[in-house]
Amino acid sequence: MPEPTPSGFSLPHVLGLVRAAVPPMHPAGRPIVAGAAVTAGVLRAVTGRGALAGVLATVATAAFFRSPRRVAPPLTGVALAPADGTVATIADVLPPPELDLPQVPVPRISVFLSILDVHVQRIPADGLVLAVTYRPGTFLSADLDKASEDNERNALLLATTDGHRLGVVQIAGLLARRIVCDVGAGDEVAAGETYGLIRFGSRVDTYLPAGTRITVSVGQRTVGGETALGQLPAGTGA
């Protein structure tokens, strides 16, 4: 007689653990990963070589487009990091004109994404999308400060439920050639939900209201949708 199955062990249970451990993929990555897999298969069929390299390339491509599940912290009145990465700069600057914010210096937190970071972007606070504006530009290295002004970028203006206005700008980098934004003006959004993607090394700038108490430091690692960038000013924003 077969030995009894250990308590709690079953194939569906194991498959569930595997699914929980492997992050889902952003939809924009599916055709690219499929293309990598097909190319690897064709090369293998034609040359009889490269099976391992093809598998590794396909897995690496899938890993780049990963969109891990995140849980927003139980905090109120905060702006969450819109991206995984490293805080590159924190400074009071004039917001870019496409955000249509008052032209007075406000805190800007720039997060640099290396090619190994998760590249999906997340909404920093509950609210309403007021505008989304794309601007073409250059492809300087995203870790340069002037990348905020010169590089190709996509700006999102958000009105929070507390009445504040936040700006989030996706900035293409030296290798990035594609910015994806899945929301538009009039969309209601929730803190931590994904809204876009930048392919390869890039940068995301967050423009916060004046008076925000910054809670991160330059060089700190951020987790998109979980790390609080700052405590927004009390009361209703303008």
Q: Catalytic amino acids? A: 202
Q: d(Cα 188, Cα 155) in Å, to the nearest integer? A: 16
Contacts of 229 (CB under 8 A, 6+ apart): 78, 79, 80, 81, 109, 124, 206, 208, 214, 215, 216, 222
Sign, Cα dihedral of 114, 116, 121, 122: negative
- 11-43 CB burial, b ≥16 within 10 A, e <16: eeeeeeeeeeeebebbebbeebbeebbeebeeb
**Amino acid, res. 111:** V
**At 59, phi and psi to the nearest 5?**
-65, -40
- For strand 106-113 and strand 202-207, is the pairing parallel, antiparallel, or unpaired? antiparallel
